Amino acid sequence: MRRVLVTGGGTGIGRAIARAFAREGDAVTITGRREEPLHETADGFDMTCRTADVTDEAQVAALFDCAFHVVIANAGAGTPAKIRDVTLEDWNRTLAVNLTGTFLTFRAALAAMPSGGRLIAIASTASLKGGAAVPAYTAAKHGVLGLVRSVALDVAKSGITCNAICPGFTDTDMANTAIDGLMTRFDVDRDTATGMVVSGNPMKRLIAPDEVAAAALYLASDGAASVNGHALSVSGGET
């Protein structure tokens, strides 16, 4: 039985990924800062819930009291603001959770990960292109992809792979926050605001969290043993 760790497993993409691996019969551990969403994710599934802040080195290290076969660095956050409005506090917080959190998670995972292990970062299409309204988030996610590509080269001979999944706007709380913001800013209804959010996706829809989870299952499969250092875009052709 594989042991799988998913950071940010309490909501959204993390929840979908954790449940997908649990359905496969894997031993899944989910982490997050808040207990309630973790237990909601685990309801009806055989999962272990552990609270941790991925920006805290000691808390991340404590998660790895056993070796995990699959580690998915999903925890992330970002709020829209053009560079002139980004405070240093906002910048540091965004880089800490998205980039430093992924670094700390991967570094701790590799201390005991067996051959054939899988490191997967949930990045974003913001890893692959610029975003005028999200410079801090975009910079952090570009950093995640650079980290993934570097780690992939480092671990290749060990049989471990390291890859990134780059979703477009996904039907999660983060997308809903963006939609709510556009409704307020432009005084438009939800359908119009949603259309603005998905305008970059040629399919003109939000990505389903389960679609991202399916990509994670693939990258963790035997069939993806030679997929390494890859940025898998799940974006309807946006990138």
Q: Which residues are catalytic?
A: 137
| CB contact at 8 A, 167 and 194 | no
Q: Where are the alpha helices (DSSP H) in the chain?
A: 12-23, 35-42, 57-63, 88-95, 101-110, 135-155, 173-186, 190-197, 209-219
Q: Is the alpha carbon torsion for 156, 161, 144, 168 positive or negative?
A: positive
Distance from C-alpha of 36 to C-alpha of 22, rounded to nearest angstrom:
19
* DSSP classification of residue 65: S
* DSSP classification of residue 170: B
